[in-house]
């Protein structure tokens, strides 16, 4: 046991890797030195280095691409992350997650209506066009387009921290959300509600965008509550 619990070396190495990225001015997507170079630079064995790299990989600070190398990860500058170990959300957590989205996403839709640039609006419209093409098709593709719609709306609000929060909630929420889509009526209604939100954002109507987002998420919650009830 003692070998694993010895924190100093692996902790110190993780710190040094983060420092290397920071002081090197590296940005997400930048390539870092190879494992061999890093082992030499830090004067550690490959297994010890790998522990530190796996740790940084698990939290999105680096990406290990097979046969290619080590890159700075997209999550390195994030404040908030989705828990990568979540495998299933239990019912109570799912309803709390929906309540969290109901608190956060509507004011972000209002801010999106105020701040969105024309390119962002065009991309948002395209996302719903994409969703429309998959309404009768694959769950996964419809789900992806719908999640892109919610993420993009949150991003357009212009607060990166709140965007990260919404992104994290949608990431852990994914599989359950997809299951909900399996009833066609809900897919259709979901889509129509998204179109209403988009219309309010395009019209720069902040109050309406907020109200439509809140009503939409309340509907999603109702569907989930309904599906949670045992069949009669």
Q: Which stretches of the chain bind a copy of itself, using CB under 8 A? A: 1-7, 10, 18, 22, 34-36, 46-47, 49-61, 64-70, 75-87, 89, 93, 96-97, 99-100, 103-104, 107, 159-162, 165, 168-169, 172
Cβ-contact 34, 64 below 8 angstroms: no
Rounded Cα distance between 31 and 74, Å, is 12
Distance separating the N- and C-terminal Cα atoms of the chain:
52
Phi–psi pair at 200, nearest 5 degrees? -65, -40
Q: How far is the CB of 36 from a copy of itself (least distance, A)?
A: 8
Rounded Cα distance between 41 and 33, Å, is 10
Q: How far is the CB of 161 from a copy of itself (least distance, A)?
A: 4
Q: Closest CB to a copy of itself among 142 and 172?
A: 172
Q: Closest CB to a copy of itself among 56 and 200?
A: 56
Q: How far is the CB of 231 from a copy of itself (least distance, A)?
A: 26
Q: Closest CB to a copy of itself among 48 and 135?
A: 48
Q: Closest CB to a copy of itself among 89 and 123?
A: 89
Three-class DSSP category at 62:
strand
Cβ-contact 203, 211 below 8 angstroms: no
Rounded Cα distance between 33 and 104, Å, is 40
Q: How far is the CB of 113 from a copy of itself (least distance, A)?
A: 16
Q: Which two tokens stand for residue 61?
A: 């600070």
C-alpha angle 197-80-179 in degrees, rounded to nearest 5 = 50
Q: How far is the CB of 55 from a copy of itself (least distance, A)?
A: 4
Q: How far is the CB of 57 from a copy of itself (least distance, A)?
A: 7
Rounded Cα distance between 64 and 163, Å, is 25
Rounded Cα distance between 76 and 65, Å, is 16
Q: Closest CB to a copy of itself among 69 and 139?
A: 69
Q: Closest CB to a copy of itself among 128 and 154?
A: 154
């Amino acid at each position: 046991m003692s070998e694993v619990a010895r924190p100093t070396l692996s902790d110190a190495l993780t710190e040094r890797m983060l420092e290397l990225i920071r002081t090197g001015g590296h940005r997400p997507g930048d390539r870092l030195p190879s494992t061999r170079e890093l082992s030499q630079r830090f004067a550690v064995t490959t297994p010890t280095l790998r522990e530190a790299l796996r740790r940084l990989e698990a939290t999105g600070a680096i990406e290990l691409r097979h046969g290619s190398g080590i890159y700075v990860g997209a999550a390195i500058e994030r404040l908030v992350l989705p828990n990568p170990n979540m495998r299933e959300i239990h019912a109570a957590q799912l309803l709390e997650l929906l309540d969290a989205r109901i608190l956060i996403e509507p004011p972000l839709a209002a801010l999106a209506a105020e701040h969105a640039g024309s390119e962002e609006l065009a991309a948002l419209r395209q996302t719903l066009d994409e969703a429309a093409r998959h309404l009768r098709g694959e769950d996964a593709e419809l789900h992806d387009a719908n999640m892109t719609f919610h993420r993009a709306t949150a991003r357009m609000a212009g607060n990166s921290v709140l965007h990260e929060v919404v992104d994290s909630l949608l990431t852990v929420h994914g599989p359950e959300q997809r299951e909900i889509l399996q009833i066609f009526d809900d897919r259709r209604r979901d889509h129509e509600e998204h179109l209403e939100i988009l219309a309010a954002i395009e019209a720069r109507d902040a109050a309406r965008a907020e109200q439509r987002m809140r009503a939409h998420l309340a509907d999603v919650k109702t569907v989930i509550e309904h599906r949670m009830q045992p069949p009669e």
